[in-house]
Amino acid sequence: MLNCWEAALGAAVSVPVFLFVAAPYIRRYVAGGRCKSTARLEGKVVIITGANTGIGKETARDLARRGARVIIACRDTAKAEAAASEIRAETGNQEVIAKKLDLADTKSIREFAERFLAEEKELHILINNAGVMLCPYSKTADGFEMQLGVNHLGHFLLTFLLLERLKQCAPARIVNVSSLAHHGGRIRFHDLHGEKSYNRGLAYCHSKLANVLFTRELARRLQGTKVTANALHPGSVYSDLVRHSFIMTWLWKIFSFFLKTPCEGAQTSIYCAVAEELESVTGQYFSDCQPAYVSPRGRDDETAKKLWSVSCELLGIQWD
């Protein structure tokens, strides 16, 4: 009997000891790849959507340190200005600017692009970072299902409106933040806006697949322009992206040790934006600062072309 108690006590002691010893190695694994580029960005203009918090804010902070003029484009202008002010103070780069952009409203997207093109003569990097996740069913100002509308259609329109400026300033880069969740997605052309059936988790997966397919078709169309387009998975990041789900928010808090910090999650976005070795790489998907596997649905060129056509129709634009 005594031996049993000794064994139990030994196990109880050894588990926390093991975790204490292993913790640095676990954290190093969770953190994933880091962008090792030392590229400077003086004279470069960058737009980052949704950069008032999370990985977008950390991406803005890093690119500001590199000397870029950074436009933080967000729906909440107060939070955007607070983030811009913090980054200016920390980096000493006074060219970090907050601008209003609501990706759930095509009128706001058009107004943002119009103002930007009137005020800024150059654009070298566009990072389509903003996103919503696990929303209860709702629609954008234009009647699109919220996750598809913000995560895909909003960025599709923004890229369309800014593309000529990117071409004029080439070499230039477009970086689309997607997710590993694209593996669970499919483009449901018969019910794009979830009016027949809606699952908030699957809707997020569908929108992230749309990001991958958009990147693939955009890269194909931009061949020869010296404007590249790549997509990425930032990793599982401890941020407020899961705020619409009580269960996910609870799980994120419990398992935060096993999640990337926003700074760690921003590394692949930064890598795609600045790494010298990616200057002519386009149409790819990255995770942990290296190429990653794309689902078969994410490699379907016919679906990518059809999604492009349907997106143009929904947005009332002609993008040949």
Written in H, E and C, the secondary structure of 218-244 is HHHHCCCCCEEEEEEECCCECCHHHCC
Angle at alpha carbon of residue 229, lines to 223 and 235, rounded to 5°: 155
Q: How far apart are CA 220 and CA 174, in angstroms?
A: 13
86-119 burial string, b = 16+ CB within 10 Å, else e?
A: ebbeebebebbbbbebbbbbbebbeebbeebeee
| Distances in whole angstroms, Cα of residue 63 to Cα of each of 36, 38, 47, 135, 275 | 13, 11, 10, 30, 12
**Rounded CA gap, 185 and 194, in Å?**
13
Spatial distance between the Cα atoms of 212 and 314, rounded to a whole number of angstroms: 19
Q: Which of 25, 137, 198, 204 is catalytic?
A: 204
Does the annotation mark 29 as catalytic? no
3-class SS of residue 259: coil
Look at residues 111, 116, 118, 140 and name the one whose alpha carbon lies nearest to residue 126.
Answer: 116
Q: Give the C-alpha separation, 264 to 288, whole Å.
A: 9
> Is the peptide bond between 16 and the residue preceding it cis, with omega within 30 degrees of 0?
no
CB 205 within 8 A of CB 184: yes
Q: What angle do CA 155, 273, 92 make, to 5 degrees?
A: 105
The amino acid present at 61, given as its one-letter code, is: R
Catalytic positions are 204
